[in-house]
């Protein structure tokens, strides 16, 4: 078994993106950040002043094209031809992404795209519902968790590196609110798949997390 699908789910700031990227690079797999797709839809809704309800977003989705491109700067997110990779990380987008990603028509379109992107395998996909909804048959499912303190510290540092300053307390509140929204929504809430391997990353380095996943993947690939 060579081209397996690896699902990496977990709450905000659990280290999914950084870890999943390293795992993909190491295995020579494609990395897909599904959160970036929900962020791009949110950015479009904000720019076009579209209401976050099913009917309004369904109409907007008809003229919304999202593409993920790989470049030497990593995965780039393209919205209707425009590279929005930086804009989708802005705090206003982060604030609005949970209500937008809870809407059925948005999830339907993006989940279909994600299934298509990962159909051939050899893929590491990170998100909230990859192991439960997008690829319930993924050969390897990882669920990353970490204390809210550890996650808030990581996020604050990450934002600070991009020149955006928030206190750890503010970020902690944002993360807690977003987790609550993402795990209590009606459609595909954030939850651990029953057959996922849970890794608590609170006291781990990114490399340590990545090695655990790479080892698990190699065992499956060899089998
Ligand atoms: O991974 P992230 O923080 O960039 O994700 C942004 C938001 O997108 C997250 O708060 C919930 C939503 N999301 C989702 O609902 N399903 C996914 N597979 C990925 C992200």
Substitution candidate for ligand 1 out of 101, 111, 133, 134 with most atoms within 8 A of CB? 101
- The structure tokens 């970036």 sit at 36
Locate the domains of the chain by residue range. 5-214
Tell me the pLDDT tens digit for each residue of 10-53: 999 898 999 999 999 999 999 999 999 999 999 999 999 999 99
Q: Which residues line ligand 1 (CB under 6 A)?
A: 12, 34-35, 38-39, 97-98, 101, 127-130, 178, 182
Distance (angstroms) between ligand 1 centre and the Cα of 15 equals: 13
pLDDT in tens, 181-199: 999 999 999 999 999 999 9
100 C-alpha to ligand 1 centroid (Å): 10
Question: Residue 223 C-alpha to ligand 1 middle, in angstroms?
Answer: 32
Domain at 5-214, CATH from 1.10.287.130, 3.40.190.10, 3.40.50.300, 3.40.50.12780: 3.40.50.300
Q: Are 46 and 93 in contact (CB under 8 A)?
A: yes
Q: pTM to 2 decimals? A: 0.94
Distance from CA of residue 27 to its chain's centroid? 19
The protein residue with its alpha carbon nearest to ligand 1, atom 3, reads 12
CA of 10 to the centre of ligand 1 (A): 9
Q: What is the mean pLDDT of the chain?
A: 95
Q: Which residue has the higher pLDDT, 80 or 73?
A: 80
pLDDT digits (tens, 9 = 90+) for 51-72: 999 999 999 999 999 999 988 7
Dmax (CA) for the chain in angstroms is 51
Structure confidence at residue 223 (pLDDT): 85
Strands in 123-127's sheet, in edge-to-edge order, are 30-33, 123-127, 5-9, 140-145, 197-200
Model confidence at 1, pLDDT cuts 50, 70, 90, reads low
């Amino acid at each position: 078994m060579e081209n397996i699908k690896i699902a990496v789910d977990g709450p905000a700031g659990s280290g999914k993106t950084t870890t999943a990227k390293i795992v993909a690079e190491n295995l020579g797999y494609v990395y897909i950040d599904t959160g970036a797709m929900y962020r791009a839809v949110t950015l479009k809704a904000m720019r076009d002043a579209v209401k976050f309800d099913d009917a309004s977003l369904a109409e907007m989705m008809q003229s919304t094209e999202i593409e993920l491109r790989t470049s030497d700067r990593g995965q780039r997110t393209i919205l209707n031809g425009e590279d929005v990779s930086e804009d989708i990380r802005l705090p206003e987008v982060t604030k609005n992404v949970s209500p937008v990603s809870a809407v059925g028509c948005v999830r339907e379109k993006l989940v279909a795209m994600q299934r298509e992107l990962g159909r051939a395998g050899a893929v590491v996909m990170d998100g909230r519902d990859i192991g439960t909804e997008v690829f319930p048959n993924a050969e390897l499912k990882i669920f990353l968790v970490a204390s809210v303190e550890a996650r808030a510290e990581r996020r604050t540092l990450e934002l600070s590196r991009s020149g955006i300053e928030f206190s750890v307390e503010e970020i902690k509140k944002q993360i807690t609110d977003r987790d609550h929204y993402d795990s209590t929504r009606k459609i595909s809430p954030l939850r651990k798949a029953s057959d996922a391997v849970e890794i608590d990353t609170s006291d781990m380095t990114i490399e340590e997390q990545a090695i655990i996943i790479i080892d698990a993947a190699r065992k499956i690939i060899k089998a």
